Structure 1
């Protein structure tokens, strides 16, 4: 089954690669997807199979591309509650809770956000890369909460992926860190790559790293003990905010990877809040806002998610409890 799209090659298409021509003419499919379909024998010119994606287009001839029906995704749908901020037939915007892994991987084969979206939106998934699955265009670490967008169609997946790659969007995070940064607002710039001594961690490096830039502003200080920062990403590297703030000397409260010892700033807290912050079981990082243009309509969209209960409880505990010790 599936469907077949037919396109008569116009004069101006002469000499174009077949995969480029069909991608532009059909719309809604990535070039890599069209290339794979051609290589799989799903394209034809004047009724003759085309197997070479680079074959030059012949104007005046009828090209056809068969789109097989999407196959079921390997991950299985699971009824996991989701907090939906927005949804249409092209995408879904979610407030991801801390503790939810985004995509199945070794050690987390199920119980992920992908499994949840498969159950929630199974009838709306039109197929991405020939597979009936949600399109993950960006990720949040398992223990980072907040706003995420997921594509439901290949057209949306392609456009959103391009927007994230070009940084043509607005992302803002709230981070609770140890100590009080000085200055209160600024930029952290430093290439990020694998830690030279611990390959499971990232670090600011001088060689073989990727450029990274984080802008921060102190939203609220709690004496010299800790501060709530608002961070914006100019780049999108793995663990970028966590790595940059630790490099600045202000690691995230609760960060199990980049908080290596009890911070000296903890001495500035009374016992109860100090113990609560030291025992916080995850990095205190929340994706607070996400703004982007709708991949199909072009409408400017912006979404926000309130601090999750665990982080909000820490802030309430800090309010009356900061002491000068």
Structure 2
């Protein structure tokens, strides 16, 4: 397996506090890796270490099969990143900020700045000082700067902050395109689970500074159980009918007279018919399946 990024027992301490503990990340070439975790879980700390902004207390980071050191400047040139909120020279225009970025990277390509501003729909603001940009425009300019030199690895910490739903979809489509058409490997953190669910190939779940799970979205889809959910007028009576009359064992009674039935052999029609015959009123009935949010909450609750 070819990995663009690996960490080995990555740990960060500040004083007596351990922010990140023995984290082993594996990101494959050409995939989008979704990095999930509650606020304060350590996601930004890890991204800071990967981009050499912070030094690990112990453990190591391997990028492009090379161990990252404080002087790995050629390695870092192959990485684009946004860590927390992007910072610019406010008195300069968007185009000037990007041109300056090109100069200190030693990256020169005709119409590169113009094309990237057009890609992020910032052409009309190219000559506007950044101090007049909205939060969403600044975020898009940060993404433009991160991908301007066509990096091999893109590290994005909450890149959709400040964007409206249309802007979030634009960034989601852009990241998919960069991955599929340019082969850029992307590591993206977000607190919006539906955004990660829509684009990620693999997710890593972090909680209390520890990586508690690393799993492909395909495996999550395979393991998530489909179920029948019904809302009834009397959950106790319905549970009795399901257990004694229909001989079902694999179901769960939730609050609000909600029942989830995890039986593949039974149909909603059979359930409806039997409950009605036993004087149980059904308010809602339908097939559902667990989402990434369900899986994430289950994992984090288990480690809290």
The two structures share one fold, judged by TM-score above 0.5: no
Q: Which has the higher helix share?
A: 2
TM-score (norm 2): 0.24
Higher relative contact order (CA 8 A, sep 6+): 2
